[in-house]
């Protein structure tokens, strides 16, 4: 009697969480995300017009790794991701420390640093394109005050990619900062008190307390900004469209350009390259970073 009753209740509990609750999400995600992902593995091996395809083996990939403008897209993607991610870690941590310390008008400062995260990327891109104008731009006007002639930020191939990366950091550092703020606030105050009692100065406290204990925040910022950086498209498109030449082309912009040009197979191969790139960097990295965290 009791066992049967228990069984019945258990069944009632199981029935309360039915599997069909997964259904709407699974259908949308499966059809519109998973299916195209698997389809891309096939179409990347074809020459494709959307209506007809012919199988050409690995030709698209061979082209991807031999054509200079495609190879540059790959290299630029890596540079862009590493530069933006590294800058966001360093600046986000410094801002996080400043904005958790006893600083004047802390709330206002936090709001100012965070607000660009919420603004349209295209709007930011266009605005900075104007600010970086070689002769009329505000940035070079300011530099000229010190008697130095500023470079053509977005049209000089030596600076273009880094200039766009700078704007990416400007817009995204607020997110890194709030992640660090959350991480630093969760460090128990006793650690700092103990360190102080042992006579550690501010720099030692940073090095031995804040840095290791804010590690989860660091891991998050690195992973998140690497994913964003590797996939980055809209800011680059708004500012340089990959130019001058193809010096600021990244894989995502190559995908769009090849799509526009009607090379659907090549564009899809670019997509496959991009998600292999993202997976090959992000998955092992997050595995290593998270494991060390457990050991520590």
Partner 1 sequence: MTAKKLRYYATGILSLAVACIVFVVPFLFIVVNALKDKPEAARLHFTWPTETHLWENLVAVVQARDYMLITAFVNSIILTVVAVTGLVVFGAMVGFVLQRRPSRWSGLINFMVLAGLIMPPAVVPTIWLLQWLGLFKTLSGLILIEIAYSLSFSVLLFRAFIATIPRELDEAAILEGAGPFTLFFRVVLPLLKPVAVTVIVVQSVAIFNDFTNPLYYLPGSKNATVQLTLFNFQSMFNTSYNLLFMNILIITIPPLIMFLFFNRQIVEGMTAGAVKG
- Find the binder of partner 1 among 86, 116, 151, 244 (CB under 8 A): 116
- Find the binder of partner 1 among 7, 22, 188, 292 (CB under 8 A): 22
- How far apart CA 74 and CA 187 sit, in angstroms, is 39
Q: Smallest distance, Å, CB 113 to partner 1? A: 6
Q: Does 34 bind partner 1 (CB under 8 A)?
A: yes
Stretch that binds partner 1, among 81-89, 193-201, 255-263, 287-295 (CB under 8 A): 255-263
- Find the binder of partner 1 among 4, 5, 25, 57 (CB under 8 A): 25
3-state class of 119 per DSSP? coil
Q: Smallest distance, Å, CB 36 to partner 1? A: 4
Q: Does 55 bind partner 1 (CB under 8 A)?
A: no
Residue 77 φ/ψ, nearest 5 degrees: -60, -45
Q: Does 69 bind partner 1 (CB under 8 A)?
A: no
Residue pointed to by tokens 């042992």: 198
Where in 72-91 is the site for partner 1 (CB under 8 A)?
none
Q: Smallest distance, Å, CB 158 to partner 1? A: 23
**Helices 68-100 and 264-295 sit at what angle, rounded to 10 degrees?**
40
Q: Smallest distance, Å, CB 216 to partner 1? A: 7
Q: What is the DSSP code (8-state) at residue 117? A: G
**CA distances in angstroms from 117 to 17, 51, 81, 91, 167, listed in the order given:** 37, 40, 17, 15, 11
As beta bridge partners, residue 54 has 47
Our CB check for partner 1 shows the closer of 71 and 103 to be: 103
Read off the tokens for 231: 């996939």
Alpha-carbon Rg for the chain in angstroms: 25
Q: Smallest distance, Å, CB 67 to partner 1? A: 18
- How far apart CA 296 and CA 293 sit, in angstroms, is 5
Q: Does 114 bind partner 1 (CB under 8 A)?
A: yes
- How far apart CA 166 and CA 242 sit, in angstroms, is 16
Residues touching partner 1, count (CB under 8 A): 89
Q: Does 294 bind partner 1 (CB under 8 A)?
A: no
Q: Does 194 bind partner 1 (CB under 8 A)?
A: no
């Amino acid at each position: 009697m009791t066992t049967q009753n228990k069984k019945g209740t258990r069944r009632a509990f199981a029935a309360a969480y039915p599997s069909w609750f997964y259904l709407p999400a699974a259908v949308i995600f499966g059809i519109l995300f998973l299916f195209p992902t698997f389809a891309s593995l096939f179409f990347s091996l074809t020459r494709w017009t959307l209506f007809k395809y012919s199988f050409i083996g690995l030709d698209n990939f061979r082209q991807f790794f031999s054509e200079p403008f495609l190879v540059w897209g790959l290299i630029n993607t890596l540079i862009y991701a590493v530069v933006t991610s590294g800058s966001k870690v360093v600046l986000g941590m410094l801002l996080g420390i400043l904005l958790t310390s006893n600083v004047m008008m802390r709330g206002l400062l936090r709001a100012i640093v965070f607000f660009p995260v919420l603004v349209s990327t295209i709007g930011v891109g266009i605005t900075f394109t104007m600010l970086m104008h070689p002769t009329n731009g505000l940035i070079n006007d300011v530099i000229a005050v010190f008697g130095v002639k500023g470079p053509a930020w977005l049209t000089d191939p030596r600076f273009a990619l880094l200039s766009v990366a700078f704007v990416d950091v400007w817009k995204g550092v607020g997110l890194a900062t709030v992640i660090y703020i959350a991480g630093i606030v969760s460090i128990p105050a006793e650690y700092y008190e103990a360190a102080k009692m042992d006579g550690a100065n501010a720099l030692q406290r940073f090095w031995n307390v804040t840095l290791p204990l804010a590690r989860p925040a660091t891991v998050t910022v690195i992973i998140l900004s690497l994913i964003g950086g590797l996939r980055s498209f809209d800011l680059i498109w708004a500012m340089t469209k990959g130019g001058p030449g193809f010096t600021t082309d990244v894989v995502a912009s190559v995908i769009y350009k090849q799509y526009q040009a009607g090379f659907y197979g090549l564009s899809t191969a670019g997509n496959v390259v991009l998600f292999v790139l993202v997976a090959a960097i992000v998955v092992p990295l997050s595995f290593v970073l998270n494991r060390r965290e457990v050991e520590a």
